[in-house]
Amino acid sequence: MKLIKVAAASLNQTPLDWRGNLRRVLEAIEMARAQGASVVCLPELCLSGYGCEDTFLAPDTLRQANRSLEAVLPVTRGLVVSVGLPCMVNNAIFNVAALIVDGTLCGMVAKQHLAGDGIHYEPRWFKPWPAGIRDAVTIAGREVPVGDLHFVVGGVRIGFEICEDAWVASRPGAQLSQRGIDVILNPSASHFAFGKIEIRQRFVLEGSRAFGCSYVYANLLGNEAGRAIYDGEAMIATAGRLVAVGPRFSYADVRVTSGVVDVDVTRLQQARLASFQPHLTEDSGAVQVEYEWRRVAPVVQEVRPAAWESSNHLKEEEFARAVPLALFDYLRKSRSQGFVVSLSGGADSSAITCLVGLMVAQGCGELGLDGMKDKLGYIASIRAASSVRDMTRRLLTTAYQATENSGPVTRSAARAVAEAVGSEHHELDISALHAGYVAMVGEALGRPLTWAQDDIALQNIQARVRSPGIWMLTNVKGALLLSTSNRSEAAVGYATMDGDTSGGLAPIAGIDKAWLRLWLRWMETEGPLGLGPIPALSAVNAQAPTAELRPPERTQTDEADLMPYPLLDAIERAAIRDKQSPVEVYRQMRLVFPEYAPEPLGVWVYRFFRLWCRNQWKRERYAPSFHVDDENLDPKTWCRFPILNGGYELELEELRAAVAAEAT
């Protein structure tokens, strides 16, 4: 047996936070050393931060990254450590993983496949490194090899797949395996999305099996740069078997997961593979490094996922952990004093209020009350918090803002949710402000405003009148106002700009309304494992969603204004994600929703496309949102659409003709 102990570090980094990023890298190295590991894999671009965006093109970013790399070198005595950073080679910038052995920088492997789809824009800043090419750069006055390299460290062959490299068909691991690779390190910055964990685990396990090696996967953790959330997943696999898995969605800055692998076993695995065809020519891509491996005792390793990850409601559980962690990091990294929510008593604002409550509960559950105070030490108001509920009250302020069209049901629901979560709650009557604006504009026009003639204007002014007061409350507290817009509203513009879209952050703008209501019902009756339900949500879940902007006698509901939410969300995915034409969407909806007759279904599909085309300007102005679904509508990260467009005129004529033909 040739046993070695390897470690994968999960780090909560921040772009361009040079001191903080370096401190966490050094902490991870020392934690791995304390666990007895010899090999330490840190995440992609961990020295600079992954989300530096156009500042990757700034010369000082490259200089600071090199300085951080130099600072890491002396801390790696006795270890084999990989760290990620940007590096310029021949006037091009590359995403590299530097391998340091016993304090010496031995070489840098450059990423071959860049992430350029979905929320990723790596080709804007980096160049893909061509397979089989090697070069050299000067770092700290010493020339080191860079490019498509692998390393023979004390007789053990170590190679790299950097994040996206493992997601493509032509994985570098296939070539590495032909060189008899023993260990593949994968430093990643792989954002969280629902269901993504299964894909990651598949390529880690399959890579270790098909390549006959051990595989070490390290990822970022938390809300690094504002929109993307990283779950911090760390995995170690050998010969197709997981030997260690780290926790996800941790509130700690650094997590290190280690495991023991047997190099002799994986070498025999390669020998047994009929597909294994070794390169027997001179290995010009190998960097030879002397190193004496630490002796490691055999251990019994059993991987047990967290109990909540085995839940039948995995998506609900992930949402209840990912967004609260993202809120926590956004709060502390923006140096805000807390959160403010305009709590209407409806589904959206109630969900956000619950998510903030979960943030405090989960953070205190992992770090303890004092640990949370330390992490949020800049907020003076929480230092005296005596309990989780007390801390929630100090971090979360909610306000119900009533006009004459608001009803007792929503007022009571808002109060119940605020009480259950523990926020500081206020009830503000804005009726006089609303009436004043209506009278002022009516006087200017020389006529009274009426619902028959001015419906949209009279609805919107109520939403906009709510904005100044909640903003003022936010400013007084030095807090961050959370916008309550959801994905379904964004698709069709069913939101008042500078009204219910007001806020500095939109936590649920990537979540469709139909699923959000399912999540709220789950929160009412079951809730996250270890925390339990919030029964007070029954008052919210019992209501049909309504903006409450028309007089009560008009019985306004969202779905009456738009269409059934499940249908709206299905149309959105067919039209926007799958790029289907109006006629194609209509025909698909006829199959998926046979309960609807052709004519109303045709009207709803027509309405969706009309509203989608008119409201791109609104989506451009939404507050930043969290990316939790790899099919979102955020024009800054995923979904590009022209603000000015032809409105699908020809396509909608074809839709009307198709509906008419079917109806007859």
What residues pair up with 145 in beta bridges, in sequence order? 136
> Which CATH number applies to 312-558?
3.40.50.620
Q: Could you report the per-residue pLDDT of 427-444, keeping only the tens digit for each?
A: 999 999 999 999 999 999
pLDDT confidence of residue 272: 84
Looking at the predicted structure, is the pLDDT value of residue 27 above 80? yes
Determine the average pLDDT of the residues in 464-491.
96
pLDDT confidence of residue 589: 98
pLDDT confidence of residue 350: 97
Looking at the predicted structure, is the pLDDT value of residue 548 above 90? no
Q: Could you report the per-residue pLDDT of 608-659, keeping only the tens digit for each?
A: 999 999 999 999 999 999 999 888 899 988 899 999 999 999 999 999 999 9
φ and ψ of 152, to 5 deg: -110, 100
Q: Is the dihedral of CA 383, 503, 423, 513 positive or negative?
A: negative
Supply the mean pLDDT for the chain: 94
pLDDT confidence of residue 141: 85
Locus of tokens 């028959």? 452
Q: Could you report the per-residue pLDDT of 63-102, keeping only the tens digit for each?
A: 999 999 999 999 999 999 999 999 999 999 999 999 999 9
Task: Please tell me the distance from the alpha carbon of residue 466 to that of residue 414, in angstroms, as a whole number.
Answer: 15
pLDDT confidence of residue 359: 98
pLDDT confidence of residue 279: 75
- Please indicate whether residue 461 or residue 407 has the higher confidence score (pLDDT): 461
CATH of 563-664, one of 3.30.565.40, 3.90.1150.10, 3.40.50.620, 2.40.340.10: 3.40.50.620
φ and ψ of 107, to 5 deg: 165, 170
The tokens of 447 are what?
């006529």
pLDDT confidence of residue 608: 97
pLDDT confidence of residue 305: 86
pLDDT confidence of residue 361: 98
**Which helix (H) or strand (E) is 40 found in, with range?**
strand 39-41
What does DSSP say about strands 241-245 and 396-402: parallel, antiparallel, or unpaired? unpaired
pLDDT band with cut points at 50, 70 and 90 for residue 553:
low
| DSSP classification of residue 46 | T
**Which helix (H) or strand (E) is 104 found in, with range?**
strand 104-110
Task: Please tell me the distance from the alpha carbon of residue 491 to that of residue 427, in angstroms, as a whole number.
Answer: 31
pLDDT confidence of residue 271: 85
Percent of the chain predicted with pLDDT > 70: 98
pLDDT confidence of residue 555: 67
What residues pair up with 236 in beta bridges, in sequence order? 216, 244
Determine the average pLDDT of the residues in 2-28.
98
Helix residue ranges, H only, 179-313: 196-210, 263-272
Is the pTM of the predicted complex or chain greater than 0.75? yes
Looking at the predicted structure, is the pLDDT value of residue 382 above 70? yes
Determine the average pLDDT of the residues in 190-197.
94
Q: Could you report the per-residue pLDDT of 279-332, keeping only the tens digit for each?
A: 777 667 899 999 999 999 888 888 888 999 999 999 999 999 999 999 999 999
φ and ψ of 93, to 5 deg: -100, 135
- Which residues contact residue 169 at a Cβ distance below 8 angstroms, ignoring those fewer than 6 apart? none
DSSP for 346-386 reads SHHHHHHHHHHHHHHHHHHHHHHHHHHHHHTTT-GGGTT--
DSSP for 418-454 reads HHHHT-EEEEEE-HHHHHHHHHHHHHHHTS---TTT-
pLDDT band with cut points at 50, 70 and 90 for residue 117:
confident
Looking at the predicted structure, is the pLDDT value of residue 47 above 70? yes
pLDDT confidence of residue 66: 97
pLDDT band with cut points at 50, 70 and 90 for residue 404:
confident
- Which residues contact residue 257 at a Cβ distance below 8 angstroms, ignoring those fewer than 6 apart? 7, 8, 9, 10, 234, 235, 236, 244, 245, 246
Determine the average pLDDT of the residues in 444-473.
93
pLDDT confidence of residue 28: 98
Looking at the predicted structure, is the pLDDT value of residue 336 above 80? yes
Task: Please tell me the distance from the alpha carbon of residue 390 to that of residue 369, in angstroms, as a whole number.
Answer: 10
Task: Locate CATH 3.60.110.10 in the chain.
Answer: 3-305
Q: Is the dihedral of CA 580, 585, 587, 589 positive or negative?
A: positive
CATH of 3-305, one of 3.60.110.10, 2.40.30.10, 3.40.50.300, 3.90.105.10: 3.60.110.10
Determine the average pLDDT of the residues in 476-485.
96
pLDDT band with cut points at 50, 70 and 90 for residue 506:
very high
pLDDT confidence of residue 233: 96
Task: Please tell me the distance from the alpha carbon of residue 181 to that of residue 150, in angstroms, as a whole number.
Answer: 8
DSSP for 474-524 reads HHHHT-EEBP---HHHHHHT-S-TTTTT-SSBBTTTTS-HHHHHHHHHHHH
Task: Please tell me the distance from the alpha carbon of residue 99 to that of residue 82, in angstroms, as a whole number.
Answer: 5
Task: Locate CATH 3.40.50.620 in the chain.
Answer: 312-558, 563-664
- Which residues contact residue 493 at a Cβ distance below 8 angstroms, ignoring those fewer than 6 apart? 611, 612, 614, 615, 618, 619
Task: Please tell me the distance from the alpha carbon of residue 191 to that of residue 121, in angstroms, as a whole number.
Answer: 13
Q: Exposed (0-12), middle (13-18) or buried (19+): which is 69, by Cβ within 10 Å?
A: buried
Determine the average pLDDT of the residues in 194-212.
94
